[in-house]
Structures are given as C-alpha cells and as structure tokens.
C-alpha cells in the first residue's frame, strides 16, 4: 500500500455479511484475530458494523495486552 502497510496486516470484517455472523461471538473474533497476527508488527482491524460484536470492548482490551 502507499503508506507501507502490508495488505496482510489489514484485517477487514463486514458484519453485514451473513457469512461473517460467527464474528459476533467475542471468543471467535479474538481467536481469529490472534491466528491472523503472524508477527509482532502493527495490524489494523476494520470492522464494519462493529456494534454487532458482543462485548467488543473486552475483545479490544484483550488484544491490547496480547504479547
């Protein structure tokens, strides 16, 4: 990308898509994000309709303390 962000470091989830309904489960979302993060570089997570994710603040808190 123009700013030097690798495409595999941008995680995008469209909560309006029926195929992504599993991501409403905070444990599923957290597990998926952790699997996608393959190194210690910065990742960007873009979630359309983030309010659909149950307990998203807890997911965010968990990710911020993950080593």
Which residue matches tokens 């979630």?
A: 47
- Give the three-state DSSP class for 14: strand
- The pLDDT confidence band at residue 66, using thresholds 50, 70 and 90, is low
- Span 18-33, pLDDT tens digits: 999 999 999 999 999 9
Q: Is 63 exposed, middle or buried (0-12, 13-18, 19+ CB in 10 A)?
A: middle
- What span, in angstroms and rounded, lies between the C-alpha atoms of 47 and 67? 22
Q: What is the pLDDT of residue 50?
A: 95
E strand or H helix that includes residue 7 = none
Tokens of 62: 């968990």
Tokens of 36: 């996608």
Higher pLDDT, 15 or 67: 15
Q: What is the pLDDT of residue 58?
A: 94
């Amino acid at each position: 990308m123009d700013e030097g962000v690798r495409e595999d470091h941008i995680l995008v989830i469209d909560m309006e898509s029926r195929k992504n309904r599993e991501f409403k489960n905070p444990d599923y979302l957290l597990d998926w994000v952790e699997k996608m993060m393959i190194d210690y570089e910065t990742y960007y997570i873009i979630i359309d309709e983030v309010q659909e994710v149950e307990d998203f603040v807890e997911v965010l808190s968990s990710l911020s303390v993950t080593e």
